[in-house]
Amino acid sequence: MRQLPASCYRLQLRGGMDFEAATGVLPYLGGLGISHLYLSPVFAAQPGSSHGYDVIDPTAIDPELGGREGFGRLAAAARAHEIGIVLDIVPNHMAFTLDNPWLRDLLANGDASRYRAHFDIAPDRRLMLPMLQAPFEEVLRDGGIAVEMDEAGAVLVHGPLRVPLDARTLPETLPRPDDHAAIRALHDRQFWRLCHWRAERDAITHRRFFSISGLIGMRIEDRAVFEDTHRLIFDLCDSGAVDGLRVDHVDGLADPGEYLARLRDRLPETPVWVEKIIAPGESLPDWPIAGTTGYVLARDLAQVLTSESGARRIDDFYRRVTDRRAAFGEVVERAKRMMLETELAAELWRLQAMVAKAAAVDPVASEYGPETWRRAIIGLITHLDRYRTYLGGGAVRPEDEAALREAASAAAAQDGGRRALDFIVDRLLDVEADADLPRRFQQVSGAVMAKGQEDTAFYRHNALISANEVGAEPSMPAIDAARFHAQMQARARDMPHGLSLTSSHDTKRSEDARARIIALSHHPDAAEALFDAASDVSGAGRVDPNLRWYLAQSLWAMLPGGEGSEALETRLCDHATKAMREAKDGTTWQDPDAEYEGTVLDYARALVPAFDPPPAETDPAARTAARLSLAQLALKLTVPGIPDIYQGCEIGNYRLTDPDNRAPVDFARLAAALEDAGTLASGADRQKFDLTRGLLMLRRDDPALFRDGDYRPDDDAPGGTVGFRRVFGDRALRVLVAAPAPLDARALDPREGEARIWPPPDAAISDAAAAIFLRR
């Protein structure tokens, strides 16, 4: 196995950050103590892509970033600075666009295409292209469709769309623009069918990434597809340019375990981390990986820093002022059901057809009609307590069977239909039956959970939104120190080399914005004052109290960012638009309500000056938040796992979900801080920078202590603190964290044989959130 990272620094490419710019950041990262650069996808993506997950050619490095030569120069420079590279790869999907050469080949050649088996497409229907603003027949009737020749052959043209036509289907003479019958007949002979974009909900014929029709699923389970899509990845790893891989959305794959085994067989020395959200009570299958990307650790850190009593009080207040009485689990169930019946209706239809086909040969199940199967599928997926199970490829894990049986029982208790539910579960668990049904069911259940919980319920249930985080559980926002220690001991045993993140391109809030909201749990009076102040703003009465409270928390989280009011207003309004449409309660992405949104945005604009300054009652919470940020950082960099520093988070970062979290980072300013931390504007930034750098340097200098060291709770830690030791041989690191009050001065005294490394000897210690001691 190649050397594991001591730490990673996530750099988001694009938006001005290409390979040349990334090369310029390397000296700074080396000075910060980073061992590995962690890059977002580098493969050729949709022109103008802002993120790189919409790959159009996995065999090429994106020329917009600098191409293969540019990446080679970056890799060589990284090696010169003794920095490795971890690369984000996207095996689950590609961009569903005419810029995708593999897709164009499929459209032009149909079943004869070399890439027919590469894409996950319904085998018995034409490939739907939901790219029109109206039904095909209407566009044709209005003269909007023509047939032309270009350098590659004949194409069907509609505005900028130029869709390849199968040469085998062409008449001797191309149809005239006004010969609608001939154009229609030619269109009907294609492997594909152009249609209205609204048809994507229930007529789409390709597997999507969640409900995004612009991303098409890949059949990575096919060995040839695996080899074609990973050829460049293998080359980069074999050449030494890439030292580790992060697998995006592993739950979308047909058989994640089989995929990861193939990856390990081909790259036995390359560590692999998977993006996997682990539900409470769920355990990972025995996969050949270094670990996950770290959402669970982010949840653990937020929970141990949150006041349970304060969170309960805020929850009671929230329900009183918003009249939202449903438990979070109920909100999720309703959202999952809605997603299956609307945005993922095509996936539901396909599952229903598969179940009905299996039932047709069963003497009892064959009596049930389509509505019975539809309700049973919805109930089972709605009540499943995790993203997916891992059936296929052998014996059924007891955990997976239990999860499905429990979901069936919950669905039956709510809506009846026990026999139908049991039939579906039995078919899913039958290792001798056709594997297509469990494969598709598991891919759909993950998409439903992601869209129902992360992208809907997290914007509907807004009691304390620091708990509305990827991988978190809003119904359990807090844990005590004893449970935290138990979870860290399990992490040291089961996933000692997993990544440890607190911010990423996918988190709903950056770490310091989250800490600001967590601080409200320690000061529930401040939370109530914040809501009251938000309710006094002009236009508040026209905005639902639930959304009003969401926006108040969001703005409070953003406030230390240092922007002017105009920039803050723009950011809040952009986020408010996204939050409203994700909640799907009054407006949606598909059908935006301009009047509804305009009312909310007017209120959001008025909220910004009203919170300048914020209510005086929130001042204690602001001071607590600053300590929580440092406490969170100290834990992240010392508990079992490999720290993942998201770009710009070595100082205070008060960003919300994407695209807000992809803002450019002033690396020149950060590099200057290596020589003089006084170049940073605030004392909080300097403290966070110094603590980050100090612990990263320690991890780089003594990797065994953190990679292999035991995790031992410190039984002598003062009450109200979280204390533990990392022990390896005769070396030990002792960590003590307090929340919300600062550490007592006596807690800062080293024990015999120890040296205090934080706070530094010359630092003021009256407000210390963490103390760290080293014994060598």
Mean pLDDT of 74-91: 98
Mean pLDDT of 435-462: 97
> In the structure, what pLDDT confidence band is assigned to residue 99 with cuts at 50, 70 and 90?
very high
711 pairs with which residues across the strands? 726
In the chain, where are the structural domains located?
Answer: 8-92+221-293, 101-215, 297-323+464-496+515-620, 328-454
Check pLDDT > 80 for residue 765.
Answer: no
C-alpha dihedral over 373, 377, 378, 379, to 10 degrees?
100
Check pLDDT > 90 for residue 152.
Answer: no
Other Cβ atoms less than 10 A from the Cβ of 5: the count is 29
> Per-residue pLDDT tens for 177-227?
999 999 999 999 999 999 999 998 888 999 999 999 999 999 999 999 999
Check pLDDT > 80 for residue 681.
Answer: no
Q: Which CATH number does 101-215 carry?
A: 3.30.1590.10
According to DSSP, residue 169 is labeled G
Percent of the chain whose pLDDT exceeds 70: 100
Mean pLDDT of 326-343: 97
503 SS3 class: coil
Tokens (6 digits) for 56: 């159009």
CA distances from 468 to 325, 454, 475 (A): 17, 8, 9
Mean pLDDT of 585-589: 96
CA distances from 656 to 53, 491, 579 (A): 20, 28, 11
- Closest by CA to 725, choosing from 715, 717, 733, 737, is 733
pLDDT attached to residue 146: 97
Mean pLDDT of 659-686: 91
> In the structure, what pLDDT confidence band is assigned to residue 561 with cuts at 50, 70 and 90?
confident
Mean pLDDT of 489-501: 98
Tokens (6 digits) for 516: 């600001």
Mean pLDDT of 126-131: 96
Other Cβ atoms less than 10 A from the Cβ of 272: the count is 20
Tokens (6 digits) for 456: 């809907």
In degrees and rounded to multiples of 5, residue 291 shows phi and psi of: 160, -170
Q: Are 121 and 205 in contact (CB under 8 A)?
A: yes
Residue type, 682: S
pLDDT attached to residue 677: 74
Pairing verdict, β 153-158 and 161-164: antiparallel
Mean pLDDT of the chain: 96
According to DSSP, residue 274 is labeled E
Check pLDDT > 90 for residue 338.
Answer: yes
Check pLDDT > 90 for residue 400.
Answer: yes
> In the structure, what pLDDT confidence band is assigned to residue 297 with cuts at 50, 70 and 90?
very high
Check pLDDT > 80 for residue 1.
Answer: no
pLDDT attached to residue 679: 85
Mean pLDDT of 276-293: 96
Query: CATH homologous superfamily of domain 8-92+221-293?
Result: Glycosidases (3.20.20.80)
> In the structure, what pLDDT confidence band is assigned to residue 624 with cuts at 50, 70 and 90?
very high
According to DSSP, residue 178 is labeled T
CA distances from 286 to 173, 262, 291, 403 (A): 60, 14, 11, 18
713 pairs with which residues across the strands? 724
Check pLDDT > 90 for residue 467.
Answer: yes
With a threshold of 0.95, does the pTM exceed it? yes
pLDDT attached to residue 124: 84
Check pLDDT > 90 for residue 745.
Answer: no
- Classify residue 265 by burial, with Cβ atoms within 10 Å: 0-12, 13-18, 19+: exposed
> Per-residue pLDDT tens for 688-721?
999 999 999 999 999 999 999 999 999 999 989 9
Q: Are 166 and 108 in contact (CB under 8 A)?
A: yes
Evaluate whether 8-92+221-293 and 101-215 have a shared fold: no
* Cα(421)–Cα(372) distance, integer angstroms: 9
> In the structure, what pLDDT confidence band is assigned to residue 588 with cuts at 50, 70 and 90?
very high
Tokens (6 digits) for 561: 């960012």
Check pLDDT > 90 for residue 310.
Answer: yes
> Per-residue pLDDT tens for 51-67?
999 999 999 999 999 99
Check pLDDT > 90 for residue 321.
Answer: yes
Check pLDDT > 90 for residue 73.
Answer: yes
Mean pLDDT of 364-383: 96
9 pairs with which residues across the strands? 37, 645
pLDDT attached to residue 554: 99
